[in-house]
Amino acid sequence: MVTSEPASRNVQPPVHLMDEKKQAIFEEFKKQVFALDLNEKQKNWCDDKCLKRYLRARDFDIKKSLNMIKNTIQWRATYKPDEITPESISKAAAGGSLYQRGIDKFGRPMMFVTPALDKHSQADPETSIKMLVYFLEKVIALMDENVETQVWVLDFKDYQAKNMPPISMSKHMIEILSNHYPERM
């Protein structure tokens, strides 16, 4: 479940204030990103906040950040995370193992994961991954202008080895989170 109201109560403090050196790196990075052959949708996605997250994720190394964002742009073009529908993940979502409920005092969306309720990932890991991406996209879309991160609460009550998703699925989820949603947690 994703709540339909954007977070608007309290504003999270600025994640990162840039000094002159980092501002210059940001301007060069932005220039290089927009020199790529991007369509309008990709250009809109590459806003200043997005570019700064990619720079922070790679310690303001332009080459590494550019490689990372190129990979994400390619991934988004093929995986199409913004086109995942509720119907395509309905079986995975039915168990209630992943849901969004409310915001914290800084306006960050609260995501709850209860692995013991996940009965679907072993049978259909790809749909479970799509569900994760769907929720990430929806929650990000609901975030207030000044909010960049989410809070995740993992509840391992009643979790057992029989509930464990395939290791390959867990690795794939971590890769998606770290490579395509940097600085969002």
Q: Binning pLDDT at 50, 70 and 90, where does residue 162 land?
A: confident
Q: Are residues 142 and 129 in the same domain?
A: yes
Q: Is residue 138 part of a domain?
A: yes
109 contact partners, CB below 8 Å, separation of at least 6: 3, 7, 100, 102, 103, 139, 142, 143, 147, 150, 151
- Tell me, what DSSP letter sits at residue 154? E
Q: Are residues 92 and 164 in the same domain?
A: yes
Cα angle 4, 45, 26 (rounded to 5 degrees) comes to 125
pLDDT at 15: 45
Q: Which of 34, 52, 81 is the last residue of a domain?
A: 81
Tokens for 174, please give them.
């971590």
Q: Are residues 107 and 26 in the same domain?
A: no
Q: Is residue 42 part of a domain?
A: yes
Q: Are residues 35 and 113 in the same domain?
A: no
Q: Is residue 149 part of a domain?
A: yes
We report the CATH number of the domain holding residue 154 as 3.40.525.10
Q: Are residues 71 and 90 in the same domain?
A: no
pLDDT at 171 over 50: yes
Q: Order of strands across the sheet with 98-103?
A: 98-103, 109-113, 151-154
Q: Are residues 76 and 90 in the same domain?
A: no
Q: Is residue 9 part of a domain?
A: no
Secondary structure of the chain: what % helix, strand, coil (to 5)? 50, 10, 40
pLDDT at 117: 78
Q: Are residues 44 and 71 in the same domain?
A: yes
The domain in which residue 25 lies consists of 20-81
pLDDT (mean) for 139-167: 87
Q: Is residue 105 part of a domain?
A: yes
Number of structural domains (the chain) is 2
Q: Which of 81, 96, 117 is the last residue of a domain?
A: 81
pLDDT at 2: 52
Task: Dump pLDDT digits (tens) for 36-71.
Answer: 999 999 999 999 999 999 999 999 999 999 999 999
pTM, two decimal places: 0.84
Task: Dump pLDDT digits (tens) for 108-138.
Answer: 999 998 877 777 666 788 888 999 999 999 9
> Are 22 and 29 within 8 A, CB to CB?
no
pLDDT at 175: 96
- Nearest-Å Rg of the Cα atoms of the chain is 17
